[in-house]
Structure formats: C-alpha cells, structure tokens
Chain A
Amino acid sequence: MVYLTRKAEFSASHYYHNPEFTPEENRRVFGKCNNPNGHGHNYTLEITVKGAVDPRSGFVVDLKELKEIMHREVLDAMDHRFLNKEVPEFANRIPTTENLAIAIWQRLFPKLQRAQLHRVRVYETPDLFADFYGEA
C-alpha cells in the first residue's frame, strides 16, 4: 500500500452562525467569526489516496485524473465563493474547517474509483488544520 498526497489551494469567505442560537449565544460561541458579512481565508487542501502501485504504470493513481476530479468537484465549487451562500452543503451546516473537510470527503469519495480516499486535510491557516478519514 502506498499513500499519495495532492495539494491544492482555494480562497473563500465564510461566517459562523447557528440560527437556533440567540444573537448573544452566536457571539459568545463564535466570536469574531460570527460577523455576518463574513471573512476569508486562503485554504490549502491536501488529498491523500492509497492503493497498490500498478506494476505497468508505476502509479497509485493517475495524478492528472486526481487533479481534474479535485478541480471539478471542489475548487470549481468553492474557490472565490462565499461558502455559506454559494455551496449547498453549508445552507444548513456551519462551514467550519472540520465541516469543510467532511464536505470535501463526501464530494470526492464517490468520484474516486481506482484509488481509495484515505484522508482529507484542510488548512484554514498555516497554523490550523482539520483532518477527516471518513470515520462515523
């Protein structure tokens, strides 16, 4: 089994708000992230797939194909977008780094055939990242 990681970057804005909380609770729980006009990040995405090395190609996965899937399923939908308003998953889910990792996993998992998705890592800043391994 060999693991292969492909990185990509995208920029997006978001804010944290739960309509079931009072305005005071929203401010207390989410702090500055509750500003309704949003704020942005340069996200770095790391997709790790795993699989056996194909003896004919020497590849775990065709990197070009992986790059295309990441672009089509994730970057086209999220790059330069306001996540709360433009990405359907976040109509009812708060676009935290954790939930972004989960949403990106759910977008990629059904599209990957030859290689198995191992980990989705999303860096919100260089000092903060979330990992999702598909665990329940």
Chain B
Amino acid sequence: MKAYLTRRYRFSASHRLHSDGFSAEENLMIYGKCNNPHGHGHNYVLEVTVSGPVDDRTGMVCNLVDLDGFVEREVLSRYDLENLNTLQEFTRSVPTTENLCVEIFEILQRGFPHAHLETVRLEETMMNSFEYAGGTESAP
C-alpha cells in the first residue's frame, strides 16, 4: 500500500535579493528591504515528502536513517549558516526561497534513490512558505 512520509528539518542562512538585470531603483522597488546590500537571514524549515509502497518486512516507505543522512549531507551541510548569494547555484539566479526550494528538490531528485520524491516545501518564516513538486505545469 502506498503511503507518504514527511520529515521536517531546519537550517539558517542569509541572502540578499538582487538581480543584475534590473537597475538599482528597480531592485529596490521589486525587492524592498530584501535588497539591503548587506543581506539578512532566516531560520528556514524544510519539509521533504517521499512516497512509495510500505515494505512488508520493515513497515517503511524508506528508512529514515537514509533520508536524514542524505538531507544532512547534501542539503543542510551545504546551506546551514551560509550566505546563499556566495554559492555557485546562485551566481546566476536570485536566492529567493522559490529558487532555493527548486534547488533542494533537484538535489533530492538527482541523488536520493530510496523512495519517490513527492514535494519539497520550504518555510522562509512562519508566515510564508513555498512548495515545489517538479515539473513545469501551471498550478490548478
């Protein structure tokens, strides 16, 4: 039987929202306080949902040790206590939480073989969150 398993993780990072494609005035108008040149930080909450048949022998969709180990190694150790703008993946894109959510989804989809990746949900603050399930189709 198919079940879905969701695990929550936390990391903290700083970023500045700024695009070289806009003028200084446009950047300020679009990004507001987030365009402050020195950046600012968030305590992010990451939710990873995987799915699959529940293994009769283990009762599990996937072993949490594998999921936790992968996320720690490939995601948390990469982003926790870092300035996102300095990382290679954000040299050409703005480290909005939308783009960070897509990056994390792609890291998991490329490298985590133990269950099907359903969604990645990223809370930037308690008041806003972003969710990505892959694909390019528009939302319903």
Contacts and interface: CB of A to CB of B under 8 A. Distances in A.
* A and B: interacting chains: yes
Interface of A: 16, 18, 20-21, 29-31, 93-99, 101-102, 126-133, 135-136
Contact of B3 (A16, A30, A126, A132): A132
Given A96-B60, A99-B59, A130-B4, 9 more contacts: A21-B57, A29-B58, A93-B59, A98-B59, A102-B54, A130-B5, A131-B4, A136-B1, A136-B2
Nearest to B7: A128
B72 to A, nearest CB: 13
Nearest to B2: A135
Nearest to A129: B6
A98 B54 contact: yes
Interface residues of B, number: 18
B17 interface: no
A7 B72 CA distance: 31
B65 interface: yes
Interface of B: 1-9, 54, 57-61, 63-65
A117 to B, nearest CB: 14
7 contacts: A93-B59, A94-B60, A96-B60, A99-B59, A128-B64, A130-B61, A132-B4
A94 B5 contact: no
Contacts of A21: 57
Nearest to B6: A129
